[in-house]
Structure 1
Amino acid sequence: MRALLIALAATTLTAGCASAAPPRHAQASIDTPVTVAVERDGDRWTADFVLNEDAPVWFFQRSALLRVGRMPWRPDSWTVETPGVILDRQGRYDVLRAADGGPVPRRVRVRMVPSAGDLEADYDPALIFSDGAVALYSGQFDASPLASVEQARALPLDLNGLDLPGGPAEVSWHDRAGPVMFKGERLARVTAIDADTYVLFGEARTREGQGITTVIDPGLPTWLGDQLGGFTPLVMDYYAARLGPQAGPKPTLMVSWTGPTESLSSMGGSVLPGLISMNFEGEGVLNPEPAALARARWFIGHESAHFWLGSDGLKYEFARDAWITEGGADLMAVRAISAIDPSWDARAELQREVDDCVTFATGKPVATAGERGDNKAFYACGAVWAMALEGARRERRGGDFFDVVADLQRLNADDGILTREEWLQMLTRESRDPSLRAGIERMLDEGSNNPASEIARLFERTGVAFTMVEGRVVLTGDQAAPKG
Structure 2
Amino acid sequence: MRPVPVLAALMLLTAGCAAAEPAPAPAAQGVITGPVRASVLRDGDRWTVDYQFNDSAPVWVFQRSALLRVGRQPWRPQWWSVETPGVVLERQGRYDVLRTTDGGPVPREVRIVMHPRAGDLEADYDPALIFTDGTVALYSGQFDVMPMPSLEAVRALPLDLNGVDLPNSDPAEVRWKDAARPVLFKGERVDAPVAAKADTYVLFGEASIRQNPGVTTVIDPGLPHWLGEELGRFTPQVMSVYERRLGESRGGLPTLMVSWTGPTEHVSSMGGSVLPGLISMNFEGEGVLDPDAAALSRARWFIGHESAHFWLGSNGLKYQFAREAWITEGGADLMAVRAIQSIDPTYDARAELQREVDDCVRLAAGKPIATAGERGDNRAYYACGAVWSMAYEAARKARRGGDFIDVVADFQRAYGEDGMLTREEWLSGLTRIARDPSLRLGIEQMLDQGVADPTATLGRLFDRTGVAYQLVGGKIVLS
TM-score class, shorter-chain normalisation, is: over 0.9
Which of 232, 236, 240 aligns to 1:233? It is 236
Aligned match of 1:164: 166
Aligned match of 2:150: 148
Aligned match of 2:276: 273
Task: Please say if residues 19 and 122 of structure 1, whose CA atoms lie closer than 8 Å, have aligned partners that are also in contact.
Answer: no
Residue 354 (structure 1) aligned with residue 345 (structure 2): no
Aligned match of 1:16: 7
Q: Which contiguous aligned blocks of 4+ residues in structure 1 show a shift greater than 2 angstroms?
A: none
Q: Take 1:305 and 1:74, find their aligned partners in 2: how far apart are those partners?
A: 31
Distance 1:201 1:272, change over 3 A: same
Which of 93, 113, 128 aligns to 1:91? It is 93
Which of 370, 391, 395 aligns to 1:388? It is 391
Residue 330 (structure 1) aligned with residue 321 (structure 2): no
Alignment of 1:115-264 (within 5 A): 115-166=117-168, 167-264=170-267
Task: Please say if residues 9 and 309 of structure 2, whose CA atoms lie closer than 8 Å, have aligned partners that are also in contact.
Answer: no
Q: Take 1:361 and 1:149, find their aligned partners in 2: how far apart are those partners?
A: 34
Aligned match of 1:410: 413
Task: Please say if residues 466 and 474 of structure 1, whose CA atoms lie closer than 8 Å, have aligned partners that are also in contact.
Answer: yes
Aligned match of 1:34: 36
Q: Take 1:403 and 1:386, find their aligned partners in 2: how far apart are those partners?
A: 12
Which of 55, 61, 64 aligns to 1:62? It is 64
Structure 2: stretches of 5+ with no match in the other structure: 12-31
Aligned match of 1:482: none
Normalising to structure 1: TM-score of the pair?
0.93
Residue 301 (structure 1) aligned with residue 301 (structure 2): no
Amino acid at match of 2:339: A
Residue 448 (structure 1) aligned with residue 439 (structure 2): no
1:84-105 CA distances to partner (integer Å, 9 max, x unpaired)?
A: 0010000000000111001000
Shift of 1:16: 3.2
Secondary structure of the structure 1 residue equivalent to 2:402: coil
Shift of 1:251: 1.4
Secondary structure of the structure 2 residue equivalent to 1:208: strand
Shift of 1:19: 6.4
Q: Take 2:186 and 2:279, find their aligned partners in 1: how far apart are those partners?
A: 11
Amino acid at match of 1:59: V
Task: Please say if residues 75 and 88 of structure 1, whose CA atoms lie closer than 8 Å, have aligned partners that are also in contact.
Answer: yes
Shift of 1:171: 0.2
1:348-387 CA distances to partner (integer Å, 9 max, x unpaired)?
A: 0000000100001100000000000000000000000000
Which range moved further: 371-380 or 202-211?
Answer: 202-211
Task: Please say if residues 18 and 270 of structure 1, whose CA atoms lie closer than 8 Å, have aligned partners that are also in contact.
Answer: yes
Shift of 1:31: 5.2
1:144-175 CA distances to partner (integer Å, 9 max, x unpaired)?
A: 00000011111000000011121100000000
Shift of 1:248: 2.3
Amino acid at match of 1:133: T
Aligned match of 2:15: none
Aligned match of 1:9: none
Amino acid at match of 2:77: P
The RMSD of aligned alpha carbons is 1.1
1:18-76 CA distances to partner (integer Å, 9 max, x unpaired)?
A: 369xxxxxxxxx95100000000000000000000000000101100000000001112
Distance 1:439 1:19, change over 3 A: farther
Shift of 1:402: 1.1
Q: Take 2:304 and 2:9, find their aligned partners in 1: how far apart are those partners?
A: 14
Task: Please say if residues 128 and 134 of structure 1, whose CA atoms lie closer than 8 Å, have aligned partners that are also in contact.
Answer: yes
Shift of 1:82: 0.2
Amino acid at match of 2:415: N
Structure 1: stretches of 5+ with no match in the other structure: 7-13, 21-29, 477-484
Task: Please say if residues 320 and 367 of structure 1, whose CA atoms lie closer than 8 Å, have aligned partners that are also in contact.
Answer: yes
Aligned match of 2:110: 108
Task: Please say if residues 7 and 379 of structure 2, whose CA atoms lie closer than 8 Å, have aligned partners that are also in contact.
Answer: no
Amino acid at match of 1:341: D
Shift of 1:403: 1.0
Alignment of 1:284-299 (within 5 A): 284-299=287-302
Q: Take 1:105 and 1:455, find their aligned partners in 2: how far apart are those partners?
A: 55
Amino acid at match of 1:68: V
Secondary structure of the structure 2 residue equivalent to 1:315: coil
Task: Please say if residues 387 and 464 of structure 1, whose CA atoms lie closer than 8 Å, have aligned partners that are also in contact.
Answer: yes
Shift of 1:293: 1.2
Equivalent pairs, count:
458
Q: Take 2:317 and 2:274, find their aligned partners in 1: how far apart are those partners?
A: 13
Secondary structure of the structure 1 residue equivalent to 2:48: strand
Q: Take 1:135 and 1:459, find their aligned partners in 2: how far apart are those partners?
A: 44
Shift of 1:314: 0.3
1:187-240 CA distances to partner (integer Å, 9 max, x unpaired)?
A: 011000000100000010001122211000111001101110111110000110
Normalising to structure 2: TM-score of the pair?
0.94
Q: Take 1:376 and 1:287, find their aligned partners in 2: how far apart are those partners?
A: 27
Q: Take 1:165 and 1:116, find their aligned partners in 2: how far apart are those partners?
A: 32
Q: Take 2:109 and 2:365, find their aligned partners in 1: how far apart are those partners?
A: 49
